[in-house]
Structure 1
Amino acid sequence: MLTYSKLAKRPSIFRSFTGLEVSEFDYLYEKVESGYEEHERERLSRRHRKRAVGGGGKFKLNLRDRLLMLLVYYRLYITFTLTGFLFDLDQSNVCRDMRYLEPLVGRCIPIPKKVHKLTRRLKTMEEVEQFFPGFRAFIDATEQEIPRPKDRAKRKSHYSGKKRRHTVKTQLTVNSKGLIIHRTNHARGRRHDYDIFKRNRPTLPEGVRPGVDLGYDGIQNDFPEMKPMIPFKRRGRGRGSRGVKGKDLTPAQKRFNKRLSKARVVVEHTISRLKKFNIFGQEFRNRLGHYDLMTDIVSGLVNFRIMGRELLT
């Protein structure tokens, strides 16, 4: 049976299984434990519950091992059957235990919604620069494959021509440290990145410029007040015609593109960190109604590791 006491003795395996260092897990557990009693009281006294508070089955695992099980599932994305085998539980109890714990974990980590709300309260330029070094933010969207929908309309709306798969999209906004400032709800894979941005764009402090790729072409005309940084591209009347190239970029434009690409790589690194949690990196097998909560928790764990260096010192 897999337990915290066994796994904590193997720090490298612990990190591979959970995505956190043992010290980071301990810090997170303290926060979860402090809010657990109130969380359970709210859950057990909810409306339409038929059993009295205190009735019903008890949890077989202690809180520390349930938190460990949740992180192992998110990191490795194994089946409920295998998770139950590792933690000596029935697969239905695995699902139940994690569903009860997820909202509390989401409240204990810096999910993007909390960070975005914090950035909107920044008042002085010093506070803004501390949160956004260089007064820059970077925006990009990522896709995750889903099983082929049974409904014909959903098959069409979720089909991504780029990935040649049925997918859902999420747009992320990060600062130059890789901290996730904003996250959109998932969108259908058919939708264009820029369309997602126009429907749900982040609110950035005054003076902070967003850096985007050419998938957001048009942002400079539609949102000039944001002063976006977007790569230059070849443009000309012959662009797209066979054998005809657009006008070459100037050396200054090429240097700008290179600097922007070098700065924007931070958002690609953040997406890579997210996808190391296999629940976000592999085909999403769960219900899409659960997708945004999952993305919140994974994003919050990535933020927790970035901010945790300050919290643990």
Structure 2
Amino acid sequence: MVGNASRATITDDRRITGLSADVIAELVAEIGPLWPERHQARLASRLRKRAVGAGAKYRLLFVDRLLATLVHLRHGVTHDVLACWFGVDRSTITRAIGEVLPLLAERGCTISPGARLRTLAEVIDHLGASGKTGSIDGTEIRVRRPTAGRKDRDRFISGKNKQNAVKTMVVTDKGGRVLFCSPAKPGSCADITHARQLGLVKVLADGPAVEILADAGYQGLGAQTGGRVITPSHRKFKMNAPDWYEEMHERQRKAHSSRRIQVEHGIAHLKNWRALTRHLGRREHMSHTVQAVAGLLSHQQTADLTSARPT
């Protein structure tokens, strides 16, 4: 196990975890009580040959389990390296990350101290109540290729990048703060199809009147949502377009792109967490990984905005 000096070094240096010491302290206070409850419930939920509590005891404290998970998400550090750093076996690190990651993913995205958004409907309600404009976009994360002979092996091949990937939809506000990250879908799923499967059309139809900016991959949602989703205008001339039309179309395209550039910045901040640049683990864990990183990033963004406001 790491000593108090090493633990303090990890928490005090934001470059290691991507989070400030205050945010890490809030995570420990929030998730610390949930972890033993979840662990005991899992032990009691199955038939056992030994009583609950028997066997080897955990050598890794919860705060160290949390720090190992944060370092893994931030820098993509392998479990072997973390095991050497924390002085435990690799299987201990694997189990620790597997237990902490779902707890981080369930937190949702923080918009203010004590206020979280966990569903797409809550995001739309928040944007409608605050009168803010939202932006949506899809991003892809490379994953390992499924083994030969596996059913639906080609589902993970992205039509855009021609690589095996999973896709998630990101929603940000006009300031680029992450409000929502969807569960991961195979890379062959189109952006507009993913949005429809998430229920975006129904949520916008039943929710308040909001403005959602999107790129050309979502063209068609505007007509289905009563104009709430705004995409670049269709190109009317595919060949031999007049010069005046080319100039007008390019001006409109750039104006729309400059309005929705904040969602690209939000995705860039997500990709600063190395676990989302290329995933070498099991694809089934990607949804928890993406949503955990989104929750941590939004928590830190909210903390930075709160501390920057004049008192």
TM-score by length of 2: 0.83
Alignment correspondent of 1:193: 191
SS of residue paired to 2:260? helix
Alignment correspondent of 1:210: 212
**Mapped contact 1:4–1:64 kept (Cα < 8 A):** no
Deviation at 1:154, TM superposition (A): 3.7
> What code does the residue aligned with 1:142 have?
T
Alignment correspondent of 1:287: 282
1:157-185: per-residue Cα shift (whole Å, max 9, x none)? 22223212111111122222333333333
Percent sequence identity is 24
Deviation at 1:9, TM superposition (A): 3.9
Instruction: Classify 1:41/1:24 alpha carbon distance in 2 versus 1 (closer, same or farther; 3 Å).
Output: same
Q: 1:274 aligns with which of 265, 270, 274?
A: 270
Alignment correspondent of 1:58: 57
**How is 1:108-119 mapped onto 2 (pairs within 5 angstroms)?**
108=107, 110=109, 114=118, 116=120, 118-119=122-123
Deviation at 1:230, TM superposition (A): 1.1
Deviation at 1:156, TM superposition (A): 2.3
**How is 1:97-112 mapped onto 2 (pairs within 5 angstroms)?**
97-108=96-107, 110=109
Instruction: Classify 1:114/1:191 alpha carbon distance in 2 versus 1 (closer, same or farther; 3 Å).
Output: closer
Alignment correspondent of 1:259: 255
Alignment correspondent of 1:139: 136
RMSD: 2.9
SS of residue paired to 1:66? helix
**Mapped contact 1:234–1:247 kept (Cα < 8 A):** no
**Mapped contact 2:117–2:123 kept (Cα < 8 A):** no
Deviation at 1:257, TM superposition (A): 3.2
Alignment correspondent of 1:228: 229
> What code does the residue aligned with 1:63 have?
F
**CA distance in structure 2 between the partners assigned to 1:128 and 1:54 by the alignment:** 49
**Mapped contact 1:178–1:270 kept (Cα < 8 A):** yes
1:123-164: per-residue Cα shift (whole Å, max 9, x none)? xxxx8342x52xx21111011111222235544222223212
Which moved further from structure 2: 189-198 or 288-297? 189-198
**CA distance in structure 2 between the partners assigned to 1:281 and 1:162 by the alignment:** 16
Instruction: Classify 1:11/1:56 alpha carbon distance in 2 versus 1 (closer, same or farther; 3 Å).
Output: closer
**How is 1:27-66 mapped onto 2 (pairs within 5 angstroms)?**
27-66=26-65
TM-score by length of 1: 0.83
Alignment correspondent of 1:180: 178
Instruction: Classify 1:51/1:299 alpha carbon distance in 2 versus 1 (closer, same or farther; 3 Å).
Output: farther
